[in-house]
Amino acid sequence: MPRIISDGFTVDDFTVDHDNRTATCPNGLTRPISRSGVATFGVACATCTWRARCTRSRKGKQLVVGAHDARQRAARQATHHPHWLADYRQHRPMIERTIAWLTRSNRRLRYRGVTKNDHWLHHRAAALNLRWLVNLGLSHNGTAWALP
């Protein structure tokens, strides 16, 4: 796990051309991206004035570009949009509350084996969903279940 440099560069400060498989550092140096998805800036970092904000490695900066890098960059960019922030702020509390309900008094697995614990988890989630629907006013009208 890479250590974070305070006031340092992030992966979004590096420009990646996915079509030409190149990466450009904030100082303007362009390097090819290997088949394994690594752009190595290496010795060029030795004389760079921004090295302290970029890497602590003696060998220079290595930028890892994953298979879904373009999608991840677009998603990170979308988080700055006001509509995305409003939607996130609206739904985040309920999602975190649901996770808290799911894990309450259940920090350890009850059974041995993946199958039994998976079965338990699905039943726990179904029970929490049913409780949520009942709280919303779920009722049975004789032939079907309905919400008001």
Task: Give CA–CA dist 27/128, Å, rounded.
Answer: 52
Name the pTM for this structure.
Answer: 0.63
- Give the confidence band of 141 by pLDDT, cuts at 50, 70, 90: confident
Q: What is the pLDDT at residue 77? A: 94
Residue 1 has pLDDT above 60, yes or no: no
The number of residues making up the chain comes to: 148
Characterize 26-57 residue by residue with b for buried, 16 or more Cβ atoms within 10 angstroms of its Cβ, and e for exposed: ebeeebebeeeeebbbeeebeebeebeebbee
Task: End-to-end CA distance of the chain: give it in Å, rounded.
Answer: 50
